[in-house]
Chain A
Amino acid sequence: MIPAAFDYVRAGSASEAIAALAEHGDEAKLLAGGHSLIPLMRFRLARPAVVVDIGRLDDLKYIRDAGDHVAIGALTRHRDVETSELVANRAGLLGEVTSHVGDPQVRHRGTIGGAVAHGDPASDIPSALIALGATLVAAGPQGTREISVDDFFTGFLETALGDDELLTEVRIPATDGARWGFEKFNRRAQDWAIVGVSVVVRAGGEAGVGLVNMDSRPVRAAAVESAVAGGASAAEAAELAAVGCDPTEDLNASVEYRQHLARVLTRRALETAGL
């Protein structure tokens, strides 16, 4: 279908984008890679009056070694994360998870910032950011602020970002020497995960576990993390994967089936991560 008509604004800088958001309020939507927003607009599930294109903000396309963390500009495409040697060496889980997003065409356009700001519980990348304990950097009229990934996802397609804020950077604490596992269950190639899980086991043995599609927002499997900290085996810890989660039922899976998948996939991912 053809999207509803809108006014198009091309932002030449981050501050222009923030000014456009301040001017148009919740009438406006940012457009990064467009691979979540355009499909919604084609179904007219989204019909913003103003689209602010940030796709050309080249100074927000970077992957940098910042010592204790890897800093990734919000407009960095999935393809660039997936093929980055720095990401592979210092945030390997994120590189692997990104390589499972959609298909090559999607990864040539979609951005890490868009995948995070969209707040989709079925998206793969947030699960990796939760496991890795990322920090998100947002810029608005009042300046910039840092948001822990644990405070970022507030509901279905809802995040802690204000209407007038732009996500500028994703910071991933470096996990040199870590091992990781990613499991994604779907019925057809290219589909979104029915359930997915990202696991990192850091060099000191501490685990981070993030779940895909197990709640109305991307969530941390805190019970699994504590069980690993307490010396549980992969099988014992994975039994707790669905604790505290409130998954939905849909055409693909019942609540019980999702809970079952979470336990099985978490065990496999923990085992892949060497537990």
Chain B
Amino acid sequence: MEISVTINGTTHTHDVEPRTLLVHYIRDVVGLTGTNIGCDTSSCGACTIHINGESVKSCTVFAVQADGDDLLTIEGLAEGETLHPMQESFRQCHALQCGYCTPGMVMAAVSLLDENPDPTDREVRLGLEGNLCRCTGYHNIVKAVLHCAAGGEQ
């Protein structure tokens, strides 16, 4: 089936099998490999992207369901050489170790602040419930999100 999706501002049109998962479409067909796959069970959140401005696990969506939608992946977050404030906060707060969970964490965190710009520590932890960090670096991840909410830079 032919689908058209806008990813990071560019419209892509491809013929896909209905069973193609959106994350496979983004990685293997469009070639944007920043979005990771970390599990088979919809649990880890490594594949988190935005669909129409909201965080979604792209391994739990068929590409055909996203036909006509506006997608944002980790590659679309920075403005040229300028990191998105959330990326900058992750850098400043050392919120990554191996980095595998990071694209999904950052995308989930941006969506979280869109919905709740001034969260408490607990709200950040609940808001990132769907993202697992195998390096267990949660402390600094939460710190980075709070740092970004407080305006970043210091």
Interface on A for B, CB 8 Å cutoff? 1-8, 10, 31, 34-35, 38-39, 41-43, 51, 53, 55, 79, 102-106, 108-109, 189-190
Contact = CB atoms under 8 A, between A and B. Distances in A.
B106 interface: no
Contacts of B55: 104-105, 108
A275 B25 CA distance: 53
B40 interface: yes
A38 B61 contact: yes
Contacts of A105: 45, 48, 55-57, 108, 130
Contacts of A31: 62, 65
A103 B21 contact: no
A49 to B, nearest CB: 11
B92 interface: no
A31 B64 CA distance: 12
Contact of A104 (B17, B21, B127): B127
B60 interface: yes
A38 B65 CA distance: 12
B56 A190 contact: no
Nearest to B68: A56
Contact of A5 (B19, B24, B42): B19
Q: Classify the interface of chain B: helix, strand, loop or mixed.
A: mixed
A166 to B, nearest CB: 18
30 contacts: A1-B40, A2-B19, A5-B17, A8-B18, A8-B64, A31-B62, A31-B65, A34-B62, A35-B60, A38-B62, A39-B42, A39-B60, A42-B40, A43-B40, A55-B65, A79-B54, A102-B129, A102-B130, A103-B45, A105-B56, A105-B57, A105-B108, A106-B130, A108-B51, A108-B56, A109-B56, A109-B57, A109-B60, A189-B129, A190-B130
A108 B1 contact: no
Interface residues of B, number: 30
B19 A6 contact: yes
Contacts of A102: 129-130
B61 A7 contact: no
Nearest to B42: A39
Contacts of A3: 19
Given A35-B60, A106-B57, A4 B19 contact: yes
A31 B62 CA distance: 10
A42 B59 CA distance: 10
B41 interface: yes
Contacts of A108: 51, 54-56
